Amino acid sequence: MRKLLQFFRQHSSLFVYLCYVALCLILLFWFNPYQQSVYFSSASRVAGSLYDLSGAVTGYFGLQKANNELLAQNGKLQDELAVLRNTLALYQAHDTLSQLPLPPANIDTSRLIVARVINNSVARRNNCITIDKGRRDGVFPEMGLVDQNGVVGVVSSASSDYAVALSLLNPHLRISCKIKNTQHIGSLAWDGTSVHHAGLEELPEYITVNVGDTIVTSGYSGAFPEGLVVGFVEDTRKVKKNNFYVITIRLAADFSALNFVRVVEYHKPVEQILIEKEAQSYE
Amino acid sequence: MVGAVVVVVLQILMCNRIALWGVATPFVLVYLFLKAPSGLQAHLFMTFAFFVGLLVDIFTNTPGVYALASVTVAFLHNPLLARIQYRDRGEEKYVPSFASLGMWRYVLYAVILTAVFCTVIFCAESFSFFSPSLLAGRIVGSTLLTLLVILVVDLLMERKR
């Protein structure tokens, strides 16, 4: 027993070090899904995040109890959600029956909020942008960001006065795009190498593209309406990847010199969301 | 103390935005730990390092990354100093520098700590997204640039004295 204690005493700094490593790894994995980073990002006030951290540490002691409470609450909320969904669907049906269906919503439904970029990274693997507008100004997660040149990113988290967006230079972000004037859809993804380039993936083999062709958003994702410029075809060589093809495009926005961006407030028509959900539930 | 604040602010506001050729970022934060005097109490030093790292993490949206690297460097600081100096100084306290360690010993000391710091930073950051050549390039590039900055600052400081 004494030897054990002596062992601990001799290597105490090693144990303290291992404790800190464990703490760091918890932080690293806990906050890794970038979408959840609102608790610990420059979007939230520093003080707030520190309080959250201390709460998270003490919170471990009551984890079992908290888990049970959450399960109970979750069940209750699910019931409530089902009731609300039904009511909503009912009203929706009434609405569509009582008046002629509206034309599908297009770019007109998007209002533009202008924000200043206060923090921006291009050198890291997972690059983020912090802007000085938040929930109070109507900025919410899943909204798109564009600057004067083209698409910049998608808001991932927002506090009352700030918001953090995943920039296009973030492998976690994929945006549905198409080649302008055609209906060929691809998925834009960053491969982590160049600040000015990204790949357009999931293209079929038979299509032909020319250098300089414009790539625009397809409107399929919830963040952007159709037709916003994303970039231009840089290289027509198609690289095969999982039975589909990838072409290199030059991004329209200059990420190393972002200053002001516009937040695109775009809502898919409620009706579209509902029918898509319904279709998903049949799968 | 003022120096520590200056280094942290420099790291957050300036150095993190630099990426020469897309790979080399100077991590001046290492300087703070490099210049810690010998014989510090390891626990306190690691705690200090953890919170300094965490502070930078909060501002760069990289929870845990800088904290992990800082704590690792703080952990290695004392044992490394003990190994690297040419004579046993007992309880004597000194600040590592060209003068106190000798030119090449100090450079070696700086190289090891900086390389460890950069390696931990980039490995922790790229956990979910892997391309080995780019990772190696970033580690080597950033280590060299950081060393350059640190050693030049040190030479200037020494000259002034």
Higher pLDDT, residue B92 or A56: B92
Chain B residues near residue A20 by CB distance under 8 angstroms? 46-47, 50, 67-68, 71
B42 and chain A: CB distance < 8 Å anywhere? yes
Q: How far apart are CA A105 and CA B83, in angstroms?
A: 71
Subunit contact A24:B17, Cβ cutoff 8 A = no
Q: How far apart are CA B149 and CA B114, in angstroms?
A: 11
| Pick from A124, A164, A171: CB nearest B125 | A124
Other Cβ atoms less than 10 A from the Cβ of A167: the count is 25
- What CATH number does the domain containing A220 carry? 2.40.10.340
pLDDT computed for residue A97 by the predictor: 46
Q: What DSSP character marks residue A61?
A: G
- State how far residue A9 is from chain B, nearest Cα, in angstroms: 12
Q: How far apart are CA A13 and CA B77, in angstroms?
A: 12
pLDDT computed for residue A49 by the predictor: 54
Query: Does B3 have pLDDT greater than 80?
Result: no
The tens digit of pLDDT for each residue in B102-133 reads 788 888 889 999 999 998 888 887 765 567 77
Please name which of A143, A145, A127, A126 lies closest in space to residue A135, comparing C-alpha atoms.
Answer: A143
Please name which of B149, B29, B155, B36 lies closest in space to residue B94, comparing C-alpha atoms.
Answer: B36
B58 and chain A: CB distance < 8 Å anywhere? yes
The tens digit of pLDDT for each residue in A94-105 reads 565 454 333 333
- Tokens for B156, please give them: 């200037």
- Cα B68 to Cα A162, B23, B72, B104, B122: the distances in Å are 27, 21, 6, 28, 11
Mean of the pLDDT values across residues B28-41?
A: 83
Range of the structural domain that residue A157 is part of? 108-283
Subunit contact B46:A121, Cβ cutoff 8 A = no
Q: What DSSP character marks residue B86?
A: S
Q: How far apart are CA B73 and CA B71, in angstroms?
A: 5
- Tokens for B89, please give them: 């100084």
Q: In this structure, are residues A114 and B118 in contact, taking their beta carbons and an 8 Å threshold?
A: no
Residues 6+ apart with CB under 8 A from A32: B127, B128
pLDDT computed for residue B114 by the predictor: 92
Subunit contact A24:B62, Cβ cutoff 8 A = no
pLDDT computed for residue A101 by the predictor: 37
- State how far residue A96 is from chain B, nearest Cα, in angstroms: 45
- Tokens for A119, please give them: 């923090």
pLDDT computed for residue A47 by the predictor: 43
- Domains in chain B: how many in total? 1
| Pick from A13, A21, A121: CB nearest B43 | A13
Chain A residues near residue B78 by CB distance under 8 angstroms? 13
Mean of the pLDDT values across residues B11-35?
A: 78
Q: How far apart are CA B151 and CA B147, in angstroms?
A: 6
Indicate the SS3 state at residue B24: strand
- Tokens for A197, please give them: 């380039």
pLDDT computed for residue B91 by the predictor: 63
Subunit contact A12:B126, Cβ cutoff 8 A = no
Could you tell me how far CA A13 lies from the centroid of its own chain? 40
pLDDT computed for residue B116 by the predictor: 92
Query: Is the residue at A23 inside a domain?
Result: no
Cβ-based contacts under 8 A for chains A and B? 98
Query: Is the residue at A63 inside a domain?
Result: no
Query: Is the residue at A62 inside a domain?
Result: no
| Pick from B67, B125, B128: CB nearest A27 | B67
Q: How far apart are CA B91 and CA B39, in angstroms?
A: 7
pLDDT computed for residue B115 by the predictor: 92
A257 and chain B: CB distance < 8 Å anywhere? no
Q: In this structure, are residues A140 and A155 in contact, taking their beta carbons and an 8 Å threshold?
A: yes
- Domains in chain A: how many in total? 1
Closest residue of chain A to B19, computed from CA coordinates: A123
Q: In this structure, are residues B69 and B117 in contact, taking their beta carbons and an 8 Å threshold?
A: yes
pLDDT < 70 stretches in chain A = 31-63, 65-66, 90, 93-112, 267-270, 283
B133 and chain A: CB distance < 8 Å anywhere? no
Query: ipTM score of the complex?
Result: 0.72
Range of the structural domain that residue B21 is part of? 2-160
DSSP characters over B18-63:
--BTTTB---THHHHHHTPPTT--HHHHHHHHHHHHHHHHHHHT-T
pLDDT tier at B161, thresholds 50, 70, 90: low
Q: What DSSP character marks residue A108?
A: G
A42 and chain B: CB distance < 8 Å anywhere? yes
pLDDT computed for residue A100 by the predictor: 35
- Averaged pLDDT of chain B: 80
